[in-house]
Structure 1
Amino acid sequence: MGGTHSSLPSVPEVEVPLYDLCVGKDICTIESYVRNCVDVNKMEGDLKETALQAAVRNSEYDFVKILLSHPDIDPNAESYYRNTPLLEACRLNNREIVRLLLSHPKVDMNYLSPLGSACDAGHVELVKELLELDGIDVNSENFKTPFYASVLRKRVEIVKLLLNDERVDVNHLHDGKESALHRVCGYHSDFEMLNILLSSDRIDVNVPSGPEHLGDSGHTPLHIAIRNNHLHIVERLLSEPEIDLNKTNSVDQTPFEQALRNYDNSFVCALLKHPKLTMDVERLSLFLRYSTDKELVVLLCGALEIPAEELYKYNETMLLTYVNKTTKKSAKAP
């Protein structure tokens, strides 16, 4: 083999990317070019990537194998667009090249979360294979954890796999702000995924959001569902045995107190039916005093067992009505 190589050409002294130079060549020629290359990790081409990254992207197994044999190869080289060979192989679901890369002693199996890439792309069998690896970090982040990415992309089978893996932090706050459960209860509501998450006893149904999420922090998923006017999600959360209706956020507001500020009294009615709800007249007094929603005030006072004839004592609008009626009666009196 060595004698054969000596007669083969070295890399031409022209600005041609190593990968492009080797396209269409036989294995021996490629081996010679790679062996004689001055910088095997040089970023080249429009994508500013190494020859190894280009070979992986184009599923060139033999070329990948030759490049990995070079003593100076950096198998973790990151392209201009934050891509690595292993990340790309996982995205493409090329399991043969994934295994080849993982066999290299320099490969970092957790750098930029190749597992997250496979989860995001929905490659179930590859995810199973990666989860079996010793040293795999199941919570490694590349903008998103594998679990959060799977929930976001609605990869149902992968979500179930990860829920059953005790190593996975299923309550992790993405970007320090929201959990996967917050996400499915929020603006982009997903009732099917909500049911899948709540089927696991590892999900914290009362997990508080992180700093500056929606302007403040400490929102539970119930806070989020109410804030986003998702009544069906609120009702589903209320069916959970561990739900805490009295947990406050960073501005000392319970889910019920947030519901009072919605324009739809259906949320208040749903919460009032729950046996765990506790209400404090003192906490609600300010709202009761200034609310102009008579229907809601009557509803609340009924729940607080305040007699109807005493409503005017708690609400300014009703107080004015009471005063006006009393004044008119006095004026009519002989």
Structure 2
Amino acid sequence: MLDKLPNELLLWICKILGKTDIVCLMACCRRMAAICTEALFDCLHYDEMPPLHRAILARRLDVARLLLTHYHASPNSEYRGTSTLLLAIEMSYPQAVNLMLEHHPRLSICDFQGRGPLSIAVAKGTFAIVETLLQYPALDVNGRCTDGMSALMYAVEYSEHAILSHLLTDPRVNVSIEDRLGQNALHSAVRKEDHISVQILARDPRLDVNWCGTHRNTALLLAVKTLKGRSPRRGRTALWHAVDQQNEELVQLLLDQDGLRLNDADGGAVTPLARAAEHQSPRLLQMLLRQPKICINAMPGPAVPPLWAACRAGSLATAQRLLTQKAIQINEKAPSGTSPLHVAVINQHLGIVSLLLSQGEIALNEVGPSGFTALMFAVASGYTACVERLLRHPQIDLQVRDPYGYCAFSLAILNRHARAMDLLCSAFVRQNARNLGWPSV
């Protein structure tokens, strides 16, 4: 109907309409576009954008469909290096993408960065568009942009894990494709420390995890160098992280590096050896203890002794292994002021308590925080099994008092631990039977 109206009437209509409405009229009427271009150029800033581009920008899918079907607009028309298909993908507009694909656009078209339709969709994180594009056999799924990145690499770069998994289901995707630096997607995931992407890629049977890049780095070796070269997070070194992950292969690679810091503690005063003791990992413990420069006791400054860490974790085997070391200091305290015996009693690790009490160097009556001995910790908490085991030691001292003047007897009474009181009384009788003239019990 608009094509039949006089030019004067069309101009009058344009004057009473808003800019958005005029643009829509221009998109669906070629004559209106010509009139507006000539008469309203200054007020509309009309810059020869094709009507199909304007319709997609305005999200007028009805106008875009009309232009494609009735006016035979080209789906391959470009404006400033962007086709209508790429524009719809940039806008994350799946309905417009589907409409463009119905009219068979060129799928090989790229933007000014050399990115194809699939790479742009991945970068935008629009799963629905990626899924749609992969259904077209003519699509180049391995096309690379000017910096050598493919759609797979963009999925890693933007941590689009769902899209990454979906791309790997397509047999056309080349998982070993390299960027301009000669590294594949797995190398990029390692550099970004994106552990989810690393796991997704490593599970793909087509990927060679031992593949070396241009710089002769496998992904694992690159992980070592990345960890070693970065600023430690909360004081955690590369070795600390490898031990924490219980990655024996990575630990061994690190131990083979010259100048590796073996004894650095993290922000929680835990060294790599102490962390291995906490994890109750015999193999990691053995690997670290073989190092001549490893410190089996806490370094000067705030650090948790490995034996203390094993006692807190309840690892009897680890504690036994550490106690075989000649240089071990069985009574060395953690920054909290507790000894290995204290922390074993506090955590009710009876087997470790017995192990420590069997050592001749054990400082049984040494006080820790609040002036408590191991016996006082056990009595105050009502740990009767630990109380009974401690009282069997011939060197136990029942008379030690805290800063407030309380002894083990006082603590048992204050906390109403009747069983602990009975055990203390029996121990007192055993220790003082001869002095009191009583028969030995």
Q: 2:296 aligned with 1:138, yes or no?
A: yes
Question: Which of 218, 228, 232 in structure 1 is aligned with 2:371?
Answer: 218
Query: What is the match of residue 164 of structure 1?
Result: 324
The CA distance in 2 between the partners of 1:10 and 1:133, in whole Å, is: 44
Question: Which of 236, 239, 244 in structure 1 is aligned with 2:389?
Answer: 236
Distance 1:136 1:80, change over 3 A: closer
Corresponding residue SS for 1:260: helix
Higher-Rg member (1/2): 2
Corresponding residue SS for 1:75: helix
Distance 1:253 1:100, change over 3 A: same
Q: 2:257 aligned with 1:101, yes or no?
A: no
- Structure 1 position 250, deviation (Å): 2.0
Give the letter for the 1:234 counterpart. Answer: V
Query: What is the match of residue 289 of structure 1?
Result: none
Distance 1:204 1:92, change over 3 A: same
**Is 1:30–1:63's contact at 8 Å kept on the other side of the alignment?**
no
The CA distance in 2 between the partners of 1:233 and 1:140, in whole Å, is: 26
The CA distance in 2 between the partners of 1:19 and 1:173, in whole Å, is: 44
Query: What is the match of residue 209 of structure 1?
Result: 368
Give the letter for the 2:327 counterpart. Answer: R
Distance 1:31 1:19, change over 3 A: farther
Equivalent residues, number: 249
Distance 1:264 1:67, change over 3 A: closer
Give the alignment's Cα RMSD to 1 decimal.
Answer: 4.4
The CA distance in 2 between the partners of 1:90 and 1:31, in whole Å, is: 31
Query: What is the match of residue 116 of structure 1?
Result: 274
The CA distance in 1 between the partners of 2:418 and 2:222, in whole Å, is: 68
Question: Which of 167, 180, 183 in structure 1 is aligned with 2:340?
Answer: 180
The CA distance in 1 between the partners of 2:291 and 2:418, in whole Å, is: 52
Q: Which blocks of at least 5 consecutive residues in structure 1 are unaligned?
A: 1-8, 211-216, 279-302, 306-334
Distance 1:272 1:233, change over 3 A: same
The CA distance in 2 between the partners of 1:80 and 1:101, in whole Å, is: 17
Corresponding residue SS for 2:414: coil
Corresponding residue SS for 2:371: coil
TM-score (normalizing by structure 2): 0.46
Query: What is the match of residue 129 of structure 1?
Result: 287
Query: What is the match of residue 252 of structure 1?
Result: 405
**Is 2:278–2:310's contact at 8 Å kept on the other side of the alignment?**
yes
Per-residue CA deviation, residues 199-249 of structure 1 (Å, 9 max, x unaligned), is 222322112103xxxxxx221011111101122221211110121111222
Per-residue CA deviation, residues 276-333 of structure 1 (Å, 9 max, x unaligned), is 469xxxxxxxxxxxxxxxxxxxxxxxx9x9xxxxxxxxxxxxxxxxxxxxxxxxxxxx
Q: 2:216 aligned with 1:63, yes or no?
A: no
Give the letter for the 2:357 counterpart. Answer: L
The CA distance in 2 between the partners of 1:114 and 1:185, in whole Å, is: 24
Q: Percent same amino acid among aligned pairs?
A: 21
The CA distance in 2 between the partners of 1:43 and 1:276, in whole Å, is: 66
The CA distance in 2 between the partners of 1:248 and 1:30, in whole Å, is: 72
**Is 2:365–2:397's contact at 8 Å kept on the other side of the alignment?**
yes
Query: What is the match of residue 270 of structure 1?
Result: 423
Q: Which blocks of at least 5 consecutive residues in structure 2 are unaligned?
A: 1-145, 161-173, 203-208, 211-217, 266-270
**Is 2:148–2:180's contact at 8 Å kept on the other side of the alignment?**
no
- Structure 1 position 83, deviation (Å): 4.4
Q: 2:353 aligned with 1:194, yes or no?
A: yes
Instruction: Kindly report structure 1 stretches of 4+ aligned residues shifted beyond 6 Å.
Output: 9-12, 28-31
TM-score (normalizing by structure 1): 0.59
Structure of greater relative contact order (alpha carbons < 8 Å, 6+ residues apart)? 1
Corresponding residue SS for 1:136: coil
The CA distance in 2 between the partners of 1:87 and 1:220, in whole Å, is: 32
Query: What is the match of residue 87 of structure 1?
Result: 240
**Is 2:277–2:315's contact at 8 Å kept on the other side of the alignment?**
yes
Per-residue CA deviation, residues 84-113 of structure 1 (Å, 9 max, x unaligned), is 332232234333322221222232112232
